[in-house]
Structure 1
């Protein structure tokens, strides 16, 4: 078991220690079948009692929810709103016209306008994050291209996955019900659990277990991993 560069294999949260085992795959493409990817790469690794966590990005890609930048035609409103999005070193977010256009399509223009108006009022007062809180998970889950992303996704926009809760349940059944499954949106500045076969009250616990993004953010090609408590290793 090897962690990704700059990451650690273990995390202790709420008095529980977990090994976080990244699983390397080929570069997942839109014509891949997620179930086959899980069978090929995860099934040989998981043990009974493990928690398999899968990035929302490969779920969305295999659902056909990624598109090249050149396929997106931003409307004038998207060009205007994107200028006011705070850029961070961790990702473009909705700070480019193409990702903002997809947010308008995914969430609806009224909701995005309301979120932008609220942020315009609260941001100067020192409040951060109101835009995404109002825009919702669909907006937060949109991934724009970054220079460190594996091609062709360095020139693509990937939307959040459809029905992540159902995907998590399906993958648990696929693996013989011996593991729990999380569909996660984790990056280098935080994260969310989008789908889980566990109690939703535990979502905050899992976010803290994964908060330093053990799968990495670029060329690692480890879009899934296993959480395992050392005492359950056999």
Structure 2
């Protein structure tokens, strides 16, 4: 279980997250929705270790966990809104890179596991293509495969359905629900309230903090 206790995040004198508490049980899906400027992406960045919190505690299974300092990149994975795929690498190489470099996996094994992920996400014939040869929906699935390749305990998504048409949104929804069946804990940042309602076990609604003039 992921627990956040009294989390505070500031940029200079501006407080973005103010003493937030929440829990995400193992295997559940939390969606974080709300207006722009409410701190949704900042919260995801804090959970995934891309930003350092100012105060508070992050716990996993009751143990203190500092994602900003964590050396184990396989605990929390992130699927970025803009995918962040390396344009000079094939799809297969994009997925296998982190397991090879970080987990020190044998290249052949990493490529085999990457191919298995592609098959699982209906991209089995795309391994030798480059990102520019893929559609937006295919890039999204490759980004999910790349995150899964690290075998994370928790998978976070930043706006996974943005700029996708209804059919592709449905495909991403099915992937997320399929991962839930396998026990994956997931946290999703989204502006899409209907999508959030269909996939989430719990929803956190955030609003921009008000500041005195």
TM-score norm. by structure 1 comes to: 0.29
**Structure whose residues are more often strand by fraction:** 2
**Structure whose residues are more often helix by fraction:** 1
TM-score norm. by structure 2 comes to: 0.31
